[in-house]
Amino acid sequence: MRQGTATPHRCILVVDDDADILEFLHDLLEMEGDGVTTSLKGEALERLRHGELPDLILLDVFLSGKDGRELVKQLKSR
């Protein structure tokens, strides 16, 4: 895992089912200078399965309809 603010193009995926939270987390992380992808209700994860992985995923545990921990398990099993 790369570290520190010196590297400008880290990619962080934020997953939450609340749009407001996604928005402020997105803005906060952008202020810090990171590349942020946000995704509602884990849709992004579906896309991730076919594409490349980000450097970091911020995942809400309580996603309506899906348990965050289950998603992590699925990801790790790959």
Partner 1 sequence: MTTTSSESSHLQERGIPAGSHMVQFSENDTSLISAVSAFVGAGLRAGDACLVVATQSHRESLEQRLQAEGLDLAAARAAGSYVPLDAATTLARFLVGGEPEPTRFRATIGPLIEQAARDNRHVRVFGEMVALLWAEGNRAGAIGLEDLWNEQGRLQAFSLLCAYPMQAFSGHAHEAQFVHIRDQHSRVLLPESYSQLSEEERQRAFALLQQKAHSLEIEIAQREAVQERLRVLAAIVESSDDAIFSKDLAGIITSWNSAAERIYGYTAEEMIGQSVTRLFPHDGQGEFDEIMARIRRGERVAHHVTQRVRKDGTLLMVSVTISPVKGESGAVVGASSIARDITGQRRLEARSQQLFASNLIGIFVADSLGRLLEANQALLDLVGYSWEEWQVAALTSPLASFVLPLMEDAGGAASVTEPQETVLRHKSGAELPVLVAVTCLEDREACIGFVLDIRERKALEQRKDAFIGMASHELKTPVTSLKGFLGLVQRLLADLPDARVRHYLTRMNVQIDKLTALINDLLDLSRIQAGQLVYRREQVAMDDLVAEIVESVQETTQTHRLQIEGRSRAEVFGDRDRLGQVLINLLTNAIKYSPGADRAIVHLSSDGTQVLASVQDFGRGIAREHHRKIFERFYQVDEPQEKTYPGLGIGLAISQEIVKRHGGRLWVESTKGQGATFHVSLPRFQRGRQPSNGSREEIP
- Residues that bind partner 1 in the complex, under the rule CB under 8 A: 18, 20-21, 24-25, 27-28, 31, 62, 64
Q: Residue 33 CB, nearest distance to partner 1 (Å)?
A: 13
Read off φ and ψ for residue 52, nearest 5 degrees. Answer: -95, 160
Q: Which is nearer to partner 1, 22 or 48 (CB)?
A: 22
Of the pair 25, 56, the CB lying nearest partner 1 is at 25
Instruction: Between 6 and 31, name the residue whose CB sits nearer to partner 1.
Output: 31
What distance in Å separates the CA atoms of residue 54 and residue 71, rounded to the nearest whole number?
A: 15
